[in-house]
Amino acid sequence: MSDKVSLLAETLVKQDEILSELLSVTLRQREALKEGRLSYLQELMSEMRHTSVRAQAIETKRSRQAAEIAGDLGCEAVVSKIANIIPPEESEPLKAAAGKLTATVGRLKMEMSILSRLMDEAKNLNEMLINEWRRMSSNAVGPGGGGFDARI
């Protein structure tokens, strides 16, 4: 059992590392969006997709490991439930890794929420600018109405 719990703790640490990478990408995306660096933002989107795939894979591994340990112990596949049953010397590293991961997930959710709101604001601003440009073009001065009359 000790080996399985150690592997689960290692997986939680690895999951925290990957989600920290995702957090870093999210922070860089926010800055790129604020600065209007679209080509860099595209690069970061690609990096985010790659990191997200890794995050999903490690989540699947963590879930499988927790389910196996929970099956052996006869409890739910939740780290806190597992930690309450196993000996303290095994549960402490597991609780520490889970606590750090939980904190990282909280920061990541917050940053993704901020990024999402910024992207919505940018989208709304772009739509307003496009609509204003179209309105100005349709009300243009001069014959033909398709542009501005340069004659004075």
Confidence tier at 96 by pLDDT (50, 70, 90): very high
Number of domains in the chain: 1
72 domain residue, yes or no: yes
The C-alpha atoms of residue 15 and residue 111 are separated, in whole angstroms, by 18
Residue 145 lies in a domain: no
Rounded to a whole number of angstroms, the distance between the first and last alpha carbons of the chain is 88
- 144 located within any domain: no
- In this structure, is residue 131 part of a structural domain? yes
CATH number at residue 133: 1.20.58
Provide the domain limits for residue 105: 2-138
pTM: 0.77
For residue range 28-67, what is the model confidence (pLDDT) as tens digits?
998 998 888 888 988 999 999 999 999 999 999 999 999 9
Residue pLDDT, tens place only, 84-94? 999 999 999 99
Q: How confident is the model at residue 100 (pLDDT cuts 50, 70, 90)?
A: very high
